[in-house]
Structure 1
Amino acid sequence: MKRFLQLILPLTIIALMSACANNHYRPQPRDYSKFRQSNPRSILVVQPTNASVDVKAPYAVMAQTTQPLAESGYYVFPVVLVNETFKDNGLNDGAEIQAAELNKLQKVYNADTILYLNVEKYGTKFQLINSVTTVSVSGKLIDAKDGSILWTGQKNITIDSNSNNNSGLFSQMFNAVVNQISDKLTDKAYKVAGAVDDHLLTANHGGTLLYGPYSPRYKAPENSDSTQQ
């Protein structure tokens, strides 16, 4: 019996510590009070900053933001025209654009909110028998009038080309060569970026934006709760 207790006691302590850790890191409900008070109708998406090594990353992410935001019930300023306007004024990358004074952006666009994004990871890494594509984006939505933060979020998606491949080693190596050629001809990360934008910016994906006034679900119960997951 004593030997049994000596064996079971450490396991019990580990289990209790694990339970406490899970409770400690359990996601807390998100407070949307500032978001609802601001009640935005329009969103100005500016060029993302880029922490990845791929110069295409900001444009790939920015180009695919309109659909999830519009489907969530917001007017989105045309991202191509907005970016060209910045270029015409000598602002050519995300860091310069996001450093622009808020009152100047407000005078030009009269937007309710501004969406700032940062591309943390973007691209495909080729290994011996597979390729791994990762896109990671973080963002914040601010009130264009006073600069207060209404929402923040982050999404990461990684896709392994061989995640569902149970074929033999030769077939895997052959497929890896084909995938590398295909991925270099077509930017696979672009499609993944679209999925990241969709999960990050579509309303009612846990912890994302609330529905906007142009959505039929604008007055739905999930938009009226004081907190959301």
Structure 2
Amino acid sequence: MARASALLMMAWLMLSCSVTTTTRRTAYPKMYEERPASILIMPPINETNHVEAKEFFFTSLAQPLAERGYYVFSPFLSMELLQQESANDAEVFVEGSMKPFLDFFGTDAVLFTRIKKWEKASLLSQMYVEVEYILKSAKTDEIIFQKSANVTVDLSVNSGNGLVDLLAGAISTAVTDKIVAARKANRFILADMPFGRYSPEYGKDGDIPAREKHITAVVR
């Protein structure tokens, strides 16, 4: 019995040693090397049939980035300036040089997003969102942070009464739900981005385990 226990313990130790955890510093080395302080958000690339997805996502990206400790250029002001320069079509720039944005805005990094799924299940009070985030250095054009996610956003109202909750979820306004869904999805997914220099946690999170490059999750 003792021999069997010892063998089991050795097997467990060997398995534990073989499992390695990827830290944020390992997953996003360019973020720690370049230490971007400012981010310009480009209008999302909407690959769905839902036109409104682009606006809801665009207007809900700034807050979670600011909460991570980055200076974020005002989406509304930057959109106006980009339109004046005929540069608001993100599809044209995502594979190109970021130098024009460095010269014009003085930004350290440029964030591109691709919305691949944006669907609402009315009776279930859920939004199904699939999105990709690509943060590129304005100085080197390299991708310094990339994440994709397929998330189910729970928009249900929890009163303790199943029938009441079902009805409340069904009659809630579509606009409100989609705004909330965009905010929840962006905050959840961007929570894996290393802290920026305006956060008190800046430079302290390198050893924190990083999430997978592609995330599948339920967000509440």
What TM-score, normalized to structure 2?
A: 0.73
Tell me the matched-pair count. Answer: 193
Kindly indicate whether residue 113 of structure 2 is the aligned counterpart of residue 117 of structure 1: yes
- Structure with higher Rg: it is 1
The match for 1:195 among 169, 180, 184 is: 184
Whether contact under 8 Å (1:48, 1:118) holds in the other structure is yes
Q: What residue number does 2:134 align with?
A: 140
Distance 2:210 2:154 in 1: 32
Q: Match of 1:67, SS?
A: helix
Root mean square deviation, CA, Å: 3.2
Shift of 1:67: 1.4
Give the gaps of 5 or more residues in structure 2.
Answer: 1-14, 212-220
Q: What residue number does 2:144 align with?
A: 150
Kindly indicate whether residue 32 of structure 2 is the aligned counterpart of residue 68 of structure 1: no
Q: What residue number does 2:173 align with?
A: 183
Whether contact under 8 Å (2:98, 2:110) holds in the other structure is no
Q: Match of 2:111, SS?
A: strand
CA deviation digits over 1:5-45, x for unaligned, max 9?
xxxxxxxxxxxxxxx9xx99x97554332221111111111
From the superposition, tell whether residues 162 and 109 of structure 1 become closer, same or farther in structure 2 (CA, over 3 Å). closer
Q: What residue number does 1:219 align with?
A: 203
Distance 1:198 1:151 in 2: 15
Q: Match of 1:218, SS?
A: coil
Kindly indicate whether residue 31 of structure 2 is the aligned counterpart of residue 31 of structure 1: no
Give the gaps of 5 or more residues in structure 1.
Answer: 1-19, 203-207
Query: Which structure 1 residue ranges, 4+ long, deviate > 3 Å from structure 2?
Result: 26-30, 91-94, 96-101, 129-132, 159-168, 178-181, 225-229
- Structure 2 counterparts to residues 22-61 of structure 1, below 5 A: 28-29=22-23, 30-61=26-57
Distance 1:85 1:65 in 2: 18
From the superposition, tell whether residues 94 and 148 of structure 1 become closer, same or farther in structure 2 (CA, over 3 Å). closer
- Amino acid corresponding to residue 107 of structure 2 in structure 1: A
Distance 1:40 1:65 in 2: 17
From the superposition, tell whether residues 33 and 97 of structure 1 become closer, same or farther in structure 2 (CA, over 3 Å). closer
CA deviation digits over 1:98-139, x for unaligned, max 9?
46642212210111111111112123134xx54532122210
- Amino acid corresponding to residue 44 of structure 2 in structure 1: P
Q: What residue number does 1:95 align with?
A: 91
Shift of 1:144: 0.7
From the superposition, tell whether residues 88 and 31 of structure 1 become closer, same or farther in structure 2 (CA, over 3 Å). same
- Amino acid corresponding to residue 121 of structure 1 in structure 2: K
Distance 2:92 2:178 in 1: 25
Kindly indicate whether residue 74 of structure 2 is the aligned counterpart of residue 78 of structure 1: yes
Q: Match of 1:80, SS?
A: helix
Q: What residue number does 1:16 align with?
A: none
Q: Match of 2:193, SS?
A: coil
What TM-score, normalized to structure 1?
A: 0.70
Shift of 1:80: 0.9
